[in-house]
């Protein structure tokens, strides 16, 4: 089963910050452990919430707002998608994620919806 680990409120040092190399080593070690288990599907950090744009459609009108969807103190900083045997393994890996030490990791099963097709575009067919 696939699980999404949503990373909130983590302190993410940027290149040039003295803590960056240590953080990079820890995050890469976590990704290596997920790969070793055959669990890593994907994962990416997100840009700061100040770069977000929220789109809503209400009564046929598109409303665009600068900023994240929710006005909250918790901000989504990145995610991992993992293929795990069960929830216990997903929770075990979430606890190993370095960002859990100063932020929080929400673990949520990815829903299987019969007939839903979210397969990527065939780049060969589009000429890209």
DSSP 50-103: GG-EEEEEETTEEEEEES-SS--S--EEEEEEEE-SSHHHHHHHHHHSGGGGTS
pTM for the full predicted model: 0.82
Question: CA dist 105 to 7, 15, 17, 80, Å?
Answer: 5, 23, 23, 10
- Give the span between the Cα atoms of 73 and 70, in whole angstroms: 9
- To the nearest whole percent, how much of the chain has pLDDT over 70? 90
Report residue 9's pLDDT band, with 50, 70 and 90 as the boundaries: confident
Q: Which two tokens stand for residue 20?
A: 């960056």
Cα angle 105, 35, 120 (rounded to 5 degrees) comes to: 80
**Does residue 41 register a pLDDT over 60?**
yes
Helix (H) or strand (E) holding 27: helix 20-36
Q: Domains in the chain, please, with CATH? A: 2-112 (3.30.70.1060)
**Span 52-105, pLDDT tens digits:** 888 899 999 999 988 765 555 668 899 999 999 999 999 999 999 999 998 999
């Amino acid at each position: 089963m696939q699980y999404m680990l949503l990373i909130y409120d983590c302190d993410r040092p940027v290149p040039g910050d003295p803590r960056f190399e240590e953080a990079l080593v820890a995050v890469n070690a976590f990704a290596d452990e997920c790969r070793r288990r055959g669990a890593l599907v994907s994962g990416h950090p997100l840009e700061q919430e100040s770069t977000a744009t929220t789109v809503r459609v209400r009564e046929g009108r598109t409303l665009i707002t600068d900023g994240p969807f929710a006005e909250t103190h918790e901000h989504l900083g990145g995610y991992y998608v993992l293929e795990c045997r069960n929830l216990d393994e997903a929770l075990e890996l979430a606890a190993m994620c370095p960002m859990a030490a100063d932020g929080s990791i929400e673990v949520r099963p990815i829903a299987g919806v019969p007939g839903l097709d979210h397969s990527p575009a065939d780049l060969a067919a589009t000429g890209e």
